[in-house]
Chains A and B, each alone.
Chain A
């Protein structure tokens, strides 16, 4: 089942904050966040395992609410380099057949 991402697109000014959400109707084992720029491969941002932990590095952090099967990606004080399409990928198990199911993506545009 494909996770649902929101919003579909967002336009920000440099320095503003953004939140991207990812929700699933099925129980999840892990949520992975990626950023993809046009014509390039997805770049790994972070992984959250079930347990409701929150992770972050520099100005990008994420949370995973296991009870609601929702994850959010937080971008603070956005920079021009943050522009791109953000995908969440979800896995329902931690072993065996656990390839990621990706959402449709959130297009983020940062303007100077």
Chain B
């Protein structure tokens, strides 16, 4: 069974530029999460989708971050404009249905903002 796929794996941009990350979850997984992991810390939830609807985006900085999940499968996370403090690893995870099931993480995208 294929795991969670993410791209790109690495991205370096200058502050005020925009960037987009892509995630393809495990087939059949209804729930998709985006987490931000700053070096030395645990992952922090940014947004949760159930199928193609947003369930929780309370910790998403909506003035600069946006996310969508078209047709309940792939998802994209965008940052515009980026700030220095956005430098982190962005992890996508999926589960069958919410927190009653294990979440599987993709390899992540390491973003460096200079």
Contact = CB atoms under 8 A, between A and B. Distances in A.
A95 interface: yes
A42 B105 contact: yes
Contacts of A34: 105
A41 B107 contact: yes
A104 B41 CA distance: 5
Interface stretch (A61-69, A75-83, A86-94): A86-94
Nearest to B45: A99
If over half of A's interface residues share one DSSP class (helix, strand or loop), that class is named, otherwise mixed; here it is loop
B42 A94 contact: no
Contacts, number: 73
B48 interface: yes
Contact of A32 (B35, B48, B102): B102
Interface in B72-114: 91, 98-108
Contacts of B48: 97-99
Contact of A47 (B102, B106, B108): B102
A99 B41 contact: no
Interface residues of A, number: 29
A87 B43 contact: yes
B107 A99 contact: no
A37 to B, nearest CB: 12
Contacts of B107: 40-41
B20 interface: no
A103 B40 CA distance: 11
B42 A99 contact: no
A105 B42 contact: yes
6 contacts: A2-B42, A44-B103, A87-B43, A97-B56, A99-B99, A105-B41
